[in-house]
Every structure is written in C-alpha cells, then in structure tokens.
Amino acid sequence: MISARTAPALLLFAPLAFFAAFFLVPMAVVAISSITTDGGALTALHYTRILLDQYHWDVLWVTFRIALVTTAICMLIGFPLAWYLVRIVRWRAWRRVCVILIIVPLFTSNIVRSFGWMVLLGRTGLVNQGLMGIGLTDRPMRFLGTETGILIGLVYILVPFVVLAVGNALATIDRGYEDASADLGVGPARTFWFVTLPLCLPGAVSGAIMVFALAVSAYVTPALLSGGQITVFSMLIFQQYSSVFDFHYGAALSVTLLVLTLVLVGIAGRIGESGRRAA
Amino acid sequence: MARHLISLVALAALAYLVLPLAVIIGASLTQTSYLVFPPEGLTLKWFGVLFNDPSYVSAFVTSTLLALAATAVAIVLAVPASLALARYAFPGRKSVSALLASPLVLPYVVLGAALLQYGSAIGIARSFEALLVGHVIIVMPFVLRSVLPLLNPEQRTLEEASLDLGAGPATTFFLVVLPQIRGGIISGGLLAFISSWINVELSIFNTTATLNTIPVKMFNYVQYTVDPTIAAVSAITIVAAALVIIILDLLIGLDMLSEGRRS
C-alpha cells in the first residue's frame, strides 16, 4: 500500500521534473544571463543600459499608454456587454449564441484577428468606406501605423476577458441585496452605484489588471498594426533575440517585462481573492 | 432608457467582435487576386491554392502534430498532478499549484526567448522538440483547470470504497477515477489543442524556414503581402475554432453567464 506521504511525490514527480527542466531552468538561464557578461562575470550593465537610455523610457511610455487606454476602452465596452448578457437577455438560446460569439475570437489566433483589422482599416477598407459614406471624412483616414490602429486591434482581442470576468461577477451577485436596497426606497441609479457596483468591483478590477498585463506584453497585434512605425516593449525583446543576437541584453529586457507582468497579476489575484472572501 | 442604451452598446460590441471574422471569411471567397470585402464573385479557388502549396501543407502538418503531441503530453502530466493536488495535503501544495498554473499569465515572448536561449545551450534550439516542450508548458494549465474541479469529495468516497473492497490503485484509477474525469480531460484537451495550434509568440523563436507552424508562417507572410490565400488559411482556423467551441458548448455547456449560479 502506498502511503499518503509518498503518493503525492510519485504523482508529482513527472510534472514537476518537466516544469523544472523546461520552464524553471530556462527562466533561470535568462535571469542569470541578464546579470552576467559573455565571460560570466557579474554585471548590472544590461539593466543600467535599459534605465539610462531615453529610447527605452519612450518605448515603455508608449507601451504603458497604449495598455492603459486599451484597458479603459475594454471596460467601457465590456461592462455594458456583460450587463446585457447577465441582466437583460432573457432568452437562453440567444445568450448562448452571444457567449459563443465572445469566445470564438478568444480561440482564434491573434494573427488572424489582427489580419482582419489590417483588411478593415486599410485605405480602401470597410471602415474608411463607412466613414466616407456617412460623410464623417472626405479622405481615407490613416489607421495602420498609428496608435489608434493598435488600440482598435488590442481592444478587440482583450474585450472578451473583461466580459467574462465582469459577467461572472455579475452572475454570482445575490439579487437580495439589490432588492433590499430598492425596498428601502433607494432609486435604481443609487442602488447600482452603492450596491451592485461594489459587489462586482473585485471581478471587474482583476479583469482590468489582467487586460492591462496582456496589453503590456502583447506582441503580434502591435507588430502587425504598427506597420513598423511604432515600437512596443515586447518588440524590443524579439529584436534582441532574432536580429541583434544580444542574449544578455534581451534577457534583461525579458526579466523587466516578466517582473512587471507578475507584479500586476499578483495584485489582480489579491483583489480577486479579497472580493471572494467578502462576498 | 438606460436599459435601451446598454442593449445598444452591447449589440454594437457584439458586431465589433464578429466583424473582422466575418470579413476574413467573406474575403477568402473573392474571385479577384487581391483582397476585397465584400468579395467580388464567389469561389473556393484560394482554398485549392492552399492545399496545392507544399509549404502550407507542411506547416499545417507541423502545427497539427505539435498541437496533438503537446496535448497528449500535457494530459499525461496534468492528470497525476491534479490527483496529487486534489487528494493529498502536503507541504508546498499551494506553491506547486501556483507553479503549474503560472504559464497562463506569463508573457509568451519571454518564455519563447528563454527556450531559444536554453535550447541553444542544450542543443535542441529550433527543433520540433524545442517547440514541443514550450507548448506542453503553456497548455498544461488548461487540462489541470478542467480536471481539478471534477475530483470533488463525493468522488473521493467512491475511490475509498473501491480501495476498501480490495481493488489496487491502478484498477481504481482506470475503473473509478478515469470515467469521472473523462469530461474534464476532453474539454481541457480541446482547449489545450486550440491554444497550441494558434500560438505565435512562443513558436516564433524556435521555427525555421523549413520547420514552421501555420500561425508563424502567416505572421511572417502578412508583414509583406496580404492576399486571398492568407484570408483562406484564416477562414479555416476561424471555422475550426467555432466548431470546437460549439462542441465544447454541447459537451459541458458554456451557459456560464446565467444568473443565480453561485460559484
């Protein structure tokens, strides 16, 4: 008979060995090469190079600005859509269709989805045709190679995460609180503001931070929709590994992105957990 | 009033989600040699061009083999891991569970770069093996998350009964545990397969001109030219994703946003 002590060790041996060999060790290799020279001596040079170069601050600023605006627009679009699905739609079959429509883009490659926007946002694309058709502009507007183009593509890719996070939070709210508030004579707007919103805030905030982290580390969408005009942080990493071949410097950039992402996800996890405990 | 406004925004958002996918499928049917939407005339010839191009066929085969192999390895690793996490209390249980789930939130560009650098060190860089190990790491959390909730306490009683009645651990696993978690393995496996099949950021570091996956090939192609063949490849992946999601819906029910469901 296998004891309760050895059983987990036996069951976890293969998965943990695999994760150690192909996940932890590669990450450690990156971390080590970010603080060493070719000869193996310790150095902080790669990080000071990131910190002292104005260009990196510009790229970081662009990356964060795009991620921030993306997150804000995702919330503005995702919240009403989640509300609509959970609170307004009464016909189950239609809700099911909507959920499928929200999930299908999630399971389509970033490249395919960004390609769709390349077609739509081109000079003679449907978006420009539409804008000119309703008289908003008389010349085709330039979207590809601009931040607006990247924003449209990133919001498109990340909105489903907000809908699912907020939708889940809304669906699990006990309607009793809202009914109690209404019974006490509080109007619907105030009930929403003081009862419903605080109850789904943890879900919404952790969804927002998730979107922000994914937007900061996005590569494919900005690469395709920037048309080489705008550089974001993940492109710097890719350049170092694919064309410059400076693995030490690339490693320092990778560690920077990784730490930023993990901090954000950690915060999101905390907020999500405290929300679950409060509910 | 507010209700109508929300419905309007929601329907516009749904249209926004559907539009690019519809445009790609539409544009793949055009008779013109350039991309145009709405399509001019209807034809399936671009799909024919695709299947007659050996580089697409080989990328298609690589992507599919890679996704199948990654999913299979991920299942073999994730099932024992979820049994250990669900059935035993041991020191470091929380850290193990966090470690195994962490690829879900990791920037894939960073993992791809790490595997290229590490792969060069151990001599597997830019090979199918290098792609495979990376894909196993990123898809395993999907299987884990689908299987874990099925290993609930009621299920545990059945396993204990089986062991008390003299069945060995192996017999108990195949006759009692496996039938219970089969649904989780299938749905987690489907999610794992799709996630592997559509990946660009991780694969791009370890692919070459001859060893290429469909998404990476498309990514490299689209940066220089866009034509109806790219729309045709894209259309195939969209239709495949939609089919898998519908199967998942029928299998486990994706009616996740209904009210009154307590998590």
A265 touches chain B (CB under 8 A): yes
B170 touches chain A (CB under 8 A): no
Lowest mean pLDDT among A113-117, B180-184, B230-234, B251-255: B251-255
> Per-residue confidence of chain A (279 residues) as pLDDT tens digits?
456 678 888 889 999 999 998 999 999 998 998 898 887 788 888 888 888 888 888 998 999 899 999 999 999 999 999 989 888 888 888 888 888 888 888 888 888 988 889 888 888 788 888 888 888 778 888 888 889 999 999 999 999 988 888 888 888 777 778 888 888 888 778 887 888 888 888 788 878 888 888 899 899 999 989 888 899 989 988 888 888 888 888 899 989 888 888 888 778 777 767 665 555
**Rg, Å, chain B Cα set:** 22
pLDDT at B261 over 50: no
Q: Which of residues 130-149 of A touch B (CB under 8 A)?
A: none
Whether residue B241 lies inside any domain: the answer is no
Q: In total, how many domains does chain B have?
A: 1
Q: DSSP secondary-structure letter at B225?
A: -
What is the domain extent for residue B168?
Answer: 57-222
Whether residue B227 lies inside any domain: the answer is no
Are B222 and A111 within 8 A, CB to CB?
Answer: yes
Are A87 and B259 within 8 A, CB to CB?
Answer: yes
Q: What is the ipTM of this complex?
A: 0.84
What residues does each domain of chain A span?
Answer: 52-278
**CATH number for the domain whose boundaries are A52-278:** 1.10.3720.10
Are A19 and B3 within 8 A, CB to CB?
Answer: no
Interface test with B, best of A76, A119, A239 (most B CBs within 10 A): A119
Predicted confidence (pLDDT) per residue in B78-118, tens digit: 999 999 998 888 888 889 988 998 887 788 888 999 999 89
B167 touches chain A (CB under 8 A): no
B245 touches chain A (CB under 8 A): yes
Which positions in chain A touch B140 (Cβ < 8 Å)? 15
CATH number at residue B138: 1.10.3720.10
Cα nearest neighbour of B110 on chain A: A254
pLDDT of residue B263: 38
A31 touches chain B (CB under 8 A): no
Nearest-Cα distance to chain B for A76, in Å, is: 9
B219 touches chain A (CB under 8 A): yes
Q: What angle do CA A44, A50, A53 make, to 5 degrees?
A: 125
Confidence of residue B254 (pLDDT cuts 50, 70, 90): low
Nearest-Cα distance to chain B for A31, in Å, is: 9
Q: In terms of pLDDT, which residue wins out, A206 or B67?
A: B67
pLDDT of residue B191: 83
Whether residue B153 lies inside any domain: the answer is yes
Assign 3-class secondary structure to chain A: CCCCCHHHHHHHHHHHHHHHHHHHHHHHHHHHHHCECCCCCECCHHHHHHHHCHHHHHHHHHHHHHHHHHHHHHHHHHHHHHHHHHHHCCCHHHHHHHHHHHHHHHCCCHHHHHHHHHHHHCCCCHHHHHHHHCCCCCCCCCCCCCHHHHHHHHHHHHHHHHHHHHHHHHHCCCHHHHHHHHHCCCCHHHHHHHHHHHHHHHHHHHHHHHHHHHHHHCCHHHHHHCCCCCCCHHHHHHHHHHHHCCHHHHHHHHHHHHHHHHHHHHHHHHHHHHHHHHC
Cα nearest neighbour of A22 on chain B: B133
